[in-house]
Structure 1
Amino acid sequence: MKQLKKFLDPPKVLVLGFLTISLMGTFLLSLPYATVDGNGLSFLNALFTSTSAACVNGLVVVDTGTTFTLFGQLVILSLIQLGGLGFMTFATFFAVLLGKRISLKERLLLRESINSSSISGVVKLTKRIILFTVTIEIFGAILLASRFTAEMPIGKAVYYGVFHAISNFNNAGFDLTGGFKSLALYAEDPIVSLTVCALITVGGIGFIVLNEVFEYRETRRLSLHTKIVLATSFVLTFGGTIFILLLEFGNPKTLQPLSYSGKVLASLFQSVTPRSAGSSTLNLSDLSQSTLFLLIFLMFIGASPGSAGGGIKTTTFATLLGAVWSQIKGKEDVVFFRQCIPFGTIYKALTITISGIFLAIILTMLLTITESGKDFLMILFEAVSASSNVGLSMGLTPELSPIGRILIIFAMFAGRVGPLTIAYAVATREKPNAFRYPKGKIMIG
């Protein structure tokens, strides 16, 4: 037993935890009363849907609104909530409610789960995470339900409001509108569009940032991490909005038929959602190639650390940009807001980025083999969306071959847990060397 506990370090526990949740969801979605036709999903489709929900991705091979019964939809919703917050967050919360003591190893697992830099105050932060989640999801559900009551019975409207609030706050992007149309019916609706955008944004900046903003009235300070997350998120969101508005303004299949306010809303929504959400108000296959490439870029960056979102993360992107700028200026230090970034952080940012690039390239290459005959941009879009844990699709997902679905399942899992976490879980840690090799010189550039 002691050897097993020693073997199960935090990365291994996180990988096994998400794997267990996905397999449990697969079993439940395979049951006859999970689907409208009474047959349940096939194992592969159930595994795909369960993994997508547990990893808060959003890619679907069957239509959520028309395929599943209320039971099946609630299973998906539970997987989204559990996967978004993390199983360790739930376990700690219930342990605290029962008055149990949180051990050091459990605190280490929590730190890894929520991507905190320290175990100090991690239990208090976990309580705050639950509070933030419940409060924000209830508020979002009320706003969405108030809009949905105009076109459906109040009970159904409340259910739709709750489902879409949880789905989008956790950056999952599952919807119940039917027909793989996502939220296209609400492209010009300010209540739905702005509420969903707010849920995605707040859910994507990370709980550590939320907690610091919440405490700002008392502390009157924000950490460097929070400043970089907020600044980078602002630039990417509004920069993306402007570019999409300019690129799609005259496209008769997307923005041209909309009013001026509708054009701005749709541009803002399509700028926010690639940051790891999966919802959309425009038909992505109708977007121009330049806009699709911009979305791929935004998907690759993704959300922020400590959130349910994927991608290389905003702080990683900002750190690399800072390193490039410092190199151009001939400076050794990477400085943000008068604070120097450690070299270890820069190396980690570079490692995460290269890992993300390789994962996307390998997945794209394999999909061009398994899905031969499909448009390359569509395959690249699908690969980046899956590996960056986003969930947007140009329509390829339901048409994937069995091998293609298996590849996407692996990519969604890696996108949620993180390639580095999987590598740490699988690899055998080497002991530090007792000596160092002499430095060598190579030419770069």
Structure 2
Amino acid sequence: MPKLKKKTRQMQPSRMLVLGFSIIILTGATLLFLPISSKSGQFSSFIDCLFTATSATCVTGITVLDTFNYFNGFGQGVILALIQVGGLGFLTLVTFINLILGKKLGWSTVKIAASDLTDNALETTPKRLFYEIVLYSFAIEFVGAVILSFVFVPDFGALGIFEAIFLSVSAFCNAGFDLLTATPGAVGLSEYTNNPLVMITLIVLITTGGLGFIVWRNIRHYNKTKRLLLHTKLVLIMAAVMLFVGAAIIFIVEFGNQDTLGQMPVGEKILTSIFLSASSRTAGFPCFDMNDLMPFTKIIITILMFIGAAPASTAGGIKITTVALVVCTVISVLKGREDTYLMGHRIKRDAIYKTFTVIVLSLTLIAVSFTGILMCCEGMSLQKTIFEVVSAFSTTGFSVGASAEMNVPAKLIMVFTMLAGRIGPVTLMTSLIIRKNHNSDKNRILPEGNILVG
């Protein structure tokens, strides 16, 4: 009698995603912990290495150890690899491993890793989707590195080549790491705000990475399809609005601040304002000490960080499409409509439910992390802590120095916040909840409830 094969139970996709990122982070932290990664040739603090590995993998950019002055070439290479893997997402890693092992790659495997991709992105074969993502990413990063080399090679010599590659990958992946402290006293891009070639190249890299794989593919194949997806249109419009509105506010508020834009020529002020606006949407490259910004500017940057960029991109935040759907839903309610309408389309209610779920869970996570850090660290500034927590959750990387002042429990909270922000609060909560079969609920007839709201 033939034996029946026991059906193996597949791991829940969200748990696979959390587990995958956790393994990558722990591997990176272990490598950074070893003496081969530090310039001193000694073991490092494992907590600081775990913080750095999480920040790199989750493309955040908050650092407690100076990337250039603390880590040697090997350590910097580890950080660069973590940024690349984290930026492209777990999808590329799972696909790559399956291709190396010669396993057949089906959509069941891809959907485990591609929880943030919509059905529109999955209109091609898994292998082709993987090749397109990697090809587009490497091509853009290569061009960016070549352009930056024209500036960094004259400034740093042979080291300038690695500086250009590192910064190009970090910018495209919206990671916020850099090696520019090779120049003593430099704060991020502070030495290059007067160089349009560097600033414009980085703005393009940051913005392109923040648009997302779906938008790239749609634009790439526009000549064939002659059609832009609703998602693509919305992302392009929202990205432009966020970029220039943010830049305008930063320019106006910081115009006379002698510690930031005040001493710059008008042209440099405009370019730096645009760069900071782009960087605020989860890239996290500073142009000066963030503590020197005006209080209102910090509030605007905190809002920009929280919103982030597009879904299925290298950026974080709650995403610009989420904000657009909330605004459209509010407008629809005010107009007495039962459904949400956007650019001539009726939006599915599932998307609206997920939108509000993302916002509620995101705000809850930020509040819990903020409270936990304040409880762990006595005397921490409220303003600095909330700025740092939002930066960690949105995987932006802007810092006002609060992370360096935190103790071990607070740093672990930041590690969790960065991981949750990169994976997504909905995916994280889904991985923690034991799902039951709710098919029986579809056949149940329940009385309709009426609750007064507002």
Q: Same fold (TM over 0.5)?
A: yes
Give the whole-Å Cα distance in 1 for the aligned partners of 2:22 and 2:303: 28
- Equivalent residue for 1:41? 44
1:402 aligns with 2:408: yes
1:79 aligns with 2:82: yes
Give the conservation status (yes or no) of the 8 Å contact 1:145–1:158: yes
Give the whole-Å Cα distance in 2 for the aligned partners of 1:102 and 1:342: 30
Secondary structure at 1:322's aligned position in 2? helix
- Counterpart of 1:141 (choices 130, 145, 153) is 145
State the one-letter code of the partner of 2:422.
Answer: R
Task: Report the Cα offset of residue 118 of structure 1.
Answer: 6.2
Give the conservation status (yes or no) of the 8 Å contact 2:90–2:114: no
Task: Report the Cα offset of residue 37 of structure 1.
Answer: 0.9
Give the whole-Å Cα distance in 2 for the aligned partners of 1:27 and 1:126: 28
Stretch of structure 1 that moved more, 155-164 or 170-179: 170-179
- Counterpart of 2:134 (choices 125, 130, 135) is 130
Give the whole-Å Cα distance in 2 for the aligned partners of 1:366 and 1:99: 46
1:233 aligns with 2:236: no
Task: Report the Cα offset of residue 110 of structure 1.
Answer: 4.1
- Equivalent residue for 1:204? 210
State the one-letter code of the partner of 2:144.
Answer: G
Task: Report the Cα offset of residue 362 of structure 1.
Answer: 1.5
- Equivalent residue for 2:450? 441
Secondary structure at 2:197's aligned position in 1? helix
Give the whole-Å Cα distance in 2 for the aligned partners of 1:3 and 1:382: 49
Secondary structure at 1:112's aligned position in 2? coil
State the one-letter code of the partner of 1:144.
Answer: L
1:291 aligns with 2:322: no
Give the whole-Å Cα distance in 2 for the aligned partners of 1:231 and 1:164: 27
Distance 1:4 1:321, change over 3 A: farther
- Equivalent residue for 2:201? 195
1:63 aligns with 2:66: yes
Give the whole-Å Cα distance in 1 for the aligned partners of 2:444 and 2:227: 42
Give the whole-Å Cα distance in 2 for the aligned partners of 1:205 and 1:382: 24
Identity of aligned residues (%): 37
Give the conservation status (yes or no) of the 8 Å contact 2:58–2:83: yes
Secondary structure at 1:150's aligned position in 2? helix
Task: Report the Cα offset of residue 416 of structure 1.
Answer: 0.6
Give the conservation status (yes or no) of the 8 Å contact 1:312–1:353: yes
Give the whole-Å Cα distance in 2 for the aligned partners of 1:327 and 1:119: 33
Q: Which runs of structure 1 show a deviation greater than 3 angstroms over 4 or more consecutive aligned residues?
A: 2-5, 93-100, 113-120
Secondary structure at 2:141's aligned position in 1? helix
Give the whole-Å Cα distance in 2 for the aligned partners of 1:359 and 1:241: 28
Give the whole-Å Cα distance in 2 for the aligned partners of 1:135 and 1:116: 25
- Counterpart of 1:275 (choices 273, 281, 287) is 281
State the one-letter code of the partner of 1:146.
Answer: F
Secondary structure at 1:389's aligned position in 2? coil
Kindly provide the CA deviation profile for residues 67-123 of structure 1, in whole angstroms up to 9, marking residues without a partner as x: 000000000000111111123313424644776421342132243264555644152
Give the conservation status (yes or no) of the 8 Å contact 2:64–2:403: yes
Give the conservation status (yes or no) of the 8 Å contact 1:80–1:170: yes
Secondary structure at 1:59's aligned position in 2? coil
Task: Report the Cα offset of residue 189 of structure 1.
Answer: 1.6
Counting only pairs closer than 5 Å after superposition, residues 366-377 of structure 1 correspond to structure 2 as: 366-377=372-383
Secondary structure at 2:26's aligned position in 1? helix
- Equivalent residue for 1:105? 108
Give the whole-Å Cα distance in 1 for the aligned partners of 2:380 and 2:7: 46
Structure 1: any 5+ residue segments left out of the alignment?
Answer: none
Secondary structure at 1:23's aligned position in 2? helix
Stretch of structure 1 that moved more, 433-442 or 338-347: 433-442
Give the whole-Å Cα distance in 2 for the aligned partners of 1:405 and 1:4: 42
Give the whole-Å Cα distance in 2 for the aligned partners of 1:105 and 1:15: 17
Give the conservation status (yes or no) of the 8 Å contact 2:91–2:114: no
- Equivalent residue for 2:93? 90
1:248 aligns with 2:257: no
Give the whole-Å Cα distance in 1 for the aligned partners of 2:34 and 2:88: 26
Stretch of structure 1 that moved more, 316-325 or 422-431: 422-431
Give the whole-Å Cα distance in 1 for the aligned partners of 2:203 and 2:6: 47
State the one-letter code of the partner of 1:435.
Answer: R
Give the whole-Å Cα distance in 1 for the aligned partners of 2:14 and 2:376: 31
Give the whole-Å Cα distance in 2 for the aligned partners of 1:4 and 1:399: 51
Kindly provide the CA deviation profile for residues 131-164 of structure 1, in whole angstroms up to 9, marking residues without a partner as x: 10110000000111111123121x2111100000
Root-mean-square deviation (Å): 1.8
Secondary structure at 1:442's aligned position in 2? coil
Give the conservation status (yes or no) of the 8 Å contact 2:172–2:209: yes
Distance 1:438 1:184, change over 3 A: same
State the one-letter code of the partner of 2:293.
Answer: L
Secondary structure at 1:41's aligned position in 2? coil
Give the conservation status (yes or no) of the 8 Å contact 1:93–1:127: no
- Counterpart of 2:356 (choices 350, 353, 359) is 350
- Equivalent residue for 2:155? 151
Counting only pairs closer than 5 Å after superposition, residues 169-188 of structure 1 correspond to structure 2 as: 169-178=172-181, 181-188=187-194
Give the whole-Å Cα distance in 2 for the aligned partners of 1:326 and 1:55: 35
**TM score, norm. by length of structure 2:** 0.93
Stretch of structure 1 that moved more, 370-379 or 22-31: 370-379
- Equivalent residue for 1:217? 223
Secondary structure at 2:156's aligned position in 1? coil
Kindly provide the CA deviation profile for residues 209-238 of structure 1, in whole angstroms up to 9, marking residues without a partner as x: 111111112211110111111111110000
Stretch of structure 1 that moved more, 140-149 or 85-94: 85-94
- Equivalent residue for 2:371? 365
Task: Report the Cα offset of residue 307 of structure 1.
Answer: 0.9
Give the conservation status (yes or no) of the 8 Å contact 1:363–1:407: yes
State the one-letter code of the partner of 1:148.
Answer: F
